[in-house]
């Protein structure tokens, strides 16, 4: 399962990129979505890679994200989560909609920022954008 976080804002984007953000449900900065790893999702992520960061989320971070930032319909907090639901979510057998959870998570800006280089360079260049693999878990914990 991939966690995708929008880092950059709305200015000066092509129609194609704006449409991809809508399809991914990344409508504003510091919003996270969880996506299964398949070819269509990877293609959409590749199209917006200059505005987002993404990587593989682990079970522990997923549970913490759902407990702290997950919302039910009507902006109600999640009161209880079952371990087997989280396991099936990680395996791709269940969806957030099955439990009535909204498909996106609003996050705060990260504590201590994105780093020295900032949000205009890729993660490989010590920036904030693009693929970061397992390091997405540390960023999510800074943003919760």
Per-residue model confidence (pLDDT) at position 40? 93
Query: What top-level class would CATH report for the domain 2-143?
Result: alpha beta
CA 60 from centre of chain: 15
At residue 11 the predicted structure's pLDDT band, cuts being 50, 70 and 90, is confident
Structure confidence by residue, pLDDT tens digits, 105-134:
999 998 888 877 888 888 888 888 989 989
Rounded to 5°, the CA angle 23-119-61 comes to 65
> Helix/strand/coil (H, E, C) string of the chain?
CEEEEECCCCCCCCHHHHHHHHHHCCCCCCEEEEECCCHHHHHHHHHCCCCEEEEECCHHHHHHHHHHHCEECCCEECCCCCHHHHHHHHHCCCCHHHHCECCEEECCCCCCCCCCCCCCCEHHHCCCEEECHHHHHHHHHHHC
Phi and psi, residue 89, nearest 5°:
-65, -45
Structure confidence by residue, pLDDT tens digits, 41-55:
999 999 998 899 999
Over residues 32-49, mean pLDDT: 93
Domain boundaries, the chain: 2-143
């Amino acid at each position: 399962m991939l966690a995708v976080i929008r880092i950059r804002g709305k200015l000066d984007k092509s129609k194609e990129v704006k449409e991809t953000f809508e399809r991914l449900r990344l409508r504003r900065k510091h919003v996270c979505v969880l996506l299964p790893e398949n070819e269509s999702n990877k293609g959409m992520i590749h199209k917006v890679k200059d505005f987002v960061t993404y990587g593989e989320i682990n079970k522990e971070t997923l549970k913490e994200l759902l407990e702290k930032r997950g919302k039910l319909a009507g902006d109600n907090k999640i009161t209880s989560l079952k371990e087997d639901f989280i396991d099936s979510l990680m395996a791709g057998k269940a969806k957030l909609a099955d439990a009535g959870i909204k498909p996106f998570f609003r996050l705060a800006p990260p504590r201590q920022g994105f780093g020295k280089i900032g949000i205009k360079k890729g993660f490989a260049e010590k920036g904030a954008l693009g693929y970061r693999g397992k390091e997405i878990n540390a960023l999510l914990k800074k943003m919760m």
